[in-house]
Amino acid sequence: MAERASESEMQVLGALWDDSPQTASELTSRVGAANGWTQATVKTLLARLVQKGAVTTEADGRRYLYRPAIARADTVADESQRFVDRLFGGRVSPLIAHLAEREALTDTDIAEIEALLRKLKS
Amino acid sequence: MAERASESEMQVLGALWDDSPQTASELTSRVGAANGWTQATVKTLLARLVQKGAVTTEADGRRYLYRPAIARADTVADESQRFVDRLFGGRVSPLIAHLAEREALTDTDIAEIEALLRKLKS
DNA sequence: GCGTATTGACTACATTTGTAGTCGATGTGG
DNA sequence: CCACATCGACTACAAATGTAGTCAATACGC
């Protein structure tokens, strides 16, 4: 089982979920730039992700192509569970209630959620 | 602004939100036992929370009574925001969609969420 | 009063995380 | 062919985190 990725590592992993494979340079341009990290930092993050088994490499000439080795959905599931447990005692609706209260929900969000719920009930 | 509490520290803080004030012993019995931590560990966590300004102490004879110094709602708000940003690019509905898919939503949850949304729209 | 249990203060230390530098190998443009 | 750019490997190192031990003071039961 792959170990958990740290928050920074998760940024890199997220970029790979969005688009893969990518080279270290590409990732530096995207994630690095977005977070103010140098290439060196991004490479360290990549190395750690590989070591944790969360990312795989494929040689492409002199460099590597990086690909996620774990599914976004699985990771998101684990993290969501941990999160809801940690802050909301495992209950989901308090989370929604909270998000709603903080006005973190746009009208579009609300519409989408309602549509989801309708589908869930059918 | 108080610094963020780590995950372990959050466990202790959570217990204080549920019930406060509490002594270190009480917290060890609850949180410590639940997590397999010794008294020493719980005390360290408490000391760090105090140092971070997340918990206050009040002398009670030879010992302290511990109380949360930051509101659950505020912390939950910050953490939720970070979480949604980190895993869902800041969008809330993918989170709901995910929870729904994983059947993490009970019928009660669904009903509660619908009620919330109705209220939101009015 | 005195031994014993309890408590906070202080110390300890390995691991993880954030952030980056260096360096040797190798590919590339001219 | 060769200077230069680029890449991964390895190294560095401070701060945060997880986990706990030790110790001196003190309160409490007898």
What percent of chain A clears pLDDT 90, i.e. is strictly above it? 51
Q: Tokens 């944790």 label which residue? A: A52
B86 has pLDDT over 60 = yes
| The Cα angle at residue A70 between residues A67 and A71, in degrees rounded to 5 | 105
Distance, in Å, from the CA atom of A20 to the CA atom of A47, rounded to the nearest integer, reads 16
Which positions on chain C have an atom < 7 Å from some protein CB?
6-12, 16-22, 26-28
Closest-CA residue to B92 (of A56, A41, A115, A104) = A104
B21-48 pLDDT, tens digit per residue, is 999 999 999 999 999 999 999 999 999 9
Q: A47 and A54 in contact (C-beta within 8 Å)?
A: no
What percent of chain B clears pLDDT 90, i.e. is strictly above it? 51
B108 has pLDDT over 90 = no
DSSP, residue by residue, B53-117: TSEEEEEETTEEEEEESS-HHHHHHHHHHHHHHHHHTT-SHHHHHHHHHTT---HHHHHHHHHHH
What's CA A106's distance to the chain center, in Å?
22
- The nearest CA of chain B is from the CA of A93 a distance in Å of 6
CATH architecture of the domain formed by A1-90: Orthogonal Bundle (1.10)
A6 has pLDDT over 90 = yes
Query: Domain-by-domain residue ranges, chain B?
Result: 1-90, 92-122
Does the reported pTM lie above 0.75?
yes
Mean pLDDT score of chain B: 87
DSSP state of B19: S
The pLDDT of residue B90 is: 73
Measured CA A59 to C1' C27 distance, in angstroms: 14
Measured CA B100 to C1' D12 distance, in angstroms: 45
8 Å CB contact of B93 and A104: no
Distance, in Å, from the CA atom of A109 to the CA atom of A115, rounded to the nearest integer, reads 10
8 Å CB contact of B112 and A93: yes
Distance, in Å, from the CA atom of B30 to the CA atom of B39, rounded to the nearest integer, reads 11
* Cβ count within 10 A of residue B54: 22
Measured CA A52 to C1' C26 distance, in angstroms: 28
